[in-house]
Structure 1
Amino acid sequence: MTSAFALPFLSLPDEAVTLSRWMIAQTGQPFIPLKPMLEEWDYAADVELRGSILIDMQAAARMLSIPEDELKLAVVLKIGTGRGRFPRVVERVSSQLVETATDKALELYALVPGNTLSGRLHTRIEVLLAASAKNASILAPTRIGSRLWSHEFSVELEDGGDSRFPIEVVSFIETFPNQRHVCAPWYLSWRLGGLASDFNGSVRLYVNSDHAELAQRVVDGDVLTLQAILGDVMVQMVGATLDADDLAEQLDGCEEGSVGAQIAGWMELAFPGRELSELRNIRRSMLGSFHSSLHAAAELRDIE
């Protein structure tokens, strides 16, 4: 259950709700367990989600101090999309009533048109009070629509807005002969000052395949290796960008999918709510904290 504050009424603990593993598929393809990223997706492909939820109505009635014969709940499924940690657009796709105790799980399904998606697919399940009870406890929820339980998850869309970071595994001996970075483990290629440029078209990370063990870890998706590399990229790009005198104006003019928008997202992720002046002070006076905060923000998390 996700809650950022104490509710003024009783709510449902996770023990009263059983949520199945969510499955995802592109239309026409078999369903697979939901993972942090939906690979090989593009805007032409619709996305389907499938799962189920089972509410122990007897336990729910007891925990909410509402007589079981008066308890009515609604299960609401919402879908959102957009870059960053919070969705830009949210839509309610289904609402189902639960009135009586049953051993049968409630099936949840959503078909999301690919052309409506951008960067990340957010999903939220809510259990709401569907009817007021006459004989409930003074601590019981009474207002229809009161949120009693919720669960959120999201999946990154590989080729939408927040696409996978552009990485190429190449031999530096062959690709960058006689260059000073020929023995480096990786090399970030980008042009400082082009904040309005398309991120995928102007930023490229090269991993040195001459370091065979490192290259294999990248190919295998080793999370610590990728975090170290992405953290270094974030340190380079955020640090260099902070030196611009008119940075606030430049970032305000950056569109979704641009270099500036990506850098702004990284700064908010690593230093939520901080002004640009504060970030500059941290970088100047607490360089170790500045670097480690960006490396921490590069952490790759699995979705349970």
Structure 2
Amino acid sequence: MTFEGWQLGDKGAPLEPVGELLQDWDYARDLTLRASVQVNFEAAASALEVDADSLVIAAALHVGTGQGNLPRRTSIVAIDRISKSQARVVLEADLDGSQLSSRITGHVHLSLGPGVRGYSALSPSVPGSRLWSTDFDILIEDGGSSRFPVSSLSFQAAFPDSKHPFSPWYLDWRPGDLHSDFSSSVALYVNEDDKEFHERFHTGDRLTVQSVLGGVAFELCSVALSSEDGFEMDTFEEGSVGAVISHWLIQAFGQTLARSAKGELERDPGAFFASMLSAMSEEP
């Protein structure tokens, strides 16, 4: 069997291979999702111990959307039939941008169709039996975590008198005004002197990016929660530094426990940091 990959893009435009983040997405953008599967029927029939002429496979494309590991909405958006005479199918669906939120998950399921003739007691015979599946998960909006500027610098050249010339990254921000615009108030610098780390970060290595975002989230959240002025989650406008911090706290602790996150930080800062890192596994 050959899976030809996931493709996603604006409706009516050329599609591109799916990555980890869909850049510049907004609710006015309708998307098209495509997945192609080809089955070697002789090989499949031999592996399943069934008659190739009677083998029919149902192919279904499921799409989910919503924040978190479990999408709030999942639906079957395309169905096709694979048989010996039609061994390749293209599953394609248009996605209404107004109905999407936070992320898109896609799943292709191949299951047994009716009427298959088996050669042994172990041959699958129940229609709907799962034969194969694959999936993807792409972030389409992220509460600002990837929208702030990221720049590559030689730290030894840019910060010659600092105490952090060998740090792999540095976050430039001022904690005084959490109501300021996040994208213009927070900047991440990646040290291009560290060739290996620099390459891993900019090629999107999952663990490298997760560790950086987790560190960034911990820095901002811990400073905000420790402020003498206190931190009130419901007082910030969308897109502000405080709103992004609130998003990260909810991502890490849930809507209810996020409001008592300061206590977690004071009781067990190590667990607080680990929770930030874990939450960033949901980020690109």
TM-score, with normalisation over the residues of structure 2?
0.67
Q: CA deviation at 1:72?
A: 1.4
Say yes or no: does 1:19 pair with 2:3: yes
Query: Partners in 2 of 1:144 and 1:203 — Cα distance?
Result: 56
Aligned partner of residue 186 in structure 2, secondary structure:
strand
Query: Partners in 2 of 1:45 and 1:91 — Cα distance?
Result: 19
Instruction: Classify 1:70/1:62 alpha carbon distance in 2 versus 1 (closer, same or farther; 3 Å).
Output: same
Instruction: Classify 1:266/1:301 alpha carbon distance in 2 versus 1 (closer, same or farther; 3 Å).
Output: closer
Query: Partners in 1 of 2:145 and 2:269 — Cα distance?
Result: 31
Aligned partner of residue 37 in structure 2, secondary structure:
strand
Say yes or no: does 1:119 pair with 2:98: no
Query: Partners in 1 of 2:214 and 2:63 — Cα distance?
Result: 30
Q: Which amino acid aligns with 1:186?
A: L
CA contact (8 A) 2:143 2:247 kept: no
Q: Which amino acid aligns with 1:236?
A: E
Percent of aligned positions with the same letter in both sequences?
24
Instruction: Classify 1:166/1:50 alpha carbon distance in 2 versus 1 (closer, same or farther; 3 Å).
Output: closer
Paired residues for 1:1-304 under 5 Å? 17-100=1-84, 105-157=88-140, 160=141, 162=143, 164-168=145-149, 185-188=170-173, 205-207=186-188, 221=202, 223=204, 226-236=209-219, 259-267=245-253, 284=267, 287=270, 291=273, 294-295=276-277, 298=280
Q: CA deviation at 1:49?
A: 1.8
Residue ranges of structure 1 left out of the alignment (5+ in a row): 1-16, 172-180, 244-249, 269-273
Query: Partners in 2 of 1:275 and 1:116 — Cα distance?
Result: 27
Residue ranges of structure 2 left out of the alignment (5+ in a row): 154-162, 227-232
Query: Partners in 2 of 1:60 and 1:242 — Cα distance?
Result: 57
Query: Partners in 2 of 1:112 and 1:61 — Cα distance?
Result: 34
CA offsets, 1:264-283, max 9 Å, x none? 32357xxxxx9999x97898
Query: Partners in 1 of 2:83 and 2:120 — Cα distance?
Result: 19
Q: Which amino acid aligns with 1:54?
A: Q
Aligned partner of residue 44 in structure 2, secondary structure:
helix
CA contact (8 A) 1:188 1:203 kept: no
Query: Partners in 2 of 1:27 and 1:191 — Cα distance?
Result: 43
Q: CA deviation at 1:153?
A: 0.3
Query: Partners in 2 of 1:84 and 1:300 — Cα distance?
Result: 7
Aligned partner of residue 188 in structure 2, secondary structure:
strand
CA contact (8 A) 1:23 1:49 kept: yes
- Comparing 131-140 with 144-153, greater Cα deviation is found at 131-140
CA contact (8 A) 1:73 1:128 kept: yes
Q: CA deviation at 1:131?
A: 0.7
Query: Partners in 1 of 2:119 and 2:249 — Cα distance?
Result: 51
TM-score, with normalisation over the residues of structure 1?
0.63
Query: Partners in 2 of 1:204 and 1:226 — Cα distance?
Result: 20
Q: Which amino acid aligns with 1:185?
A: Y
Q: How many residue pairs were aligned?
A: 251
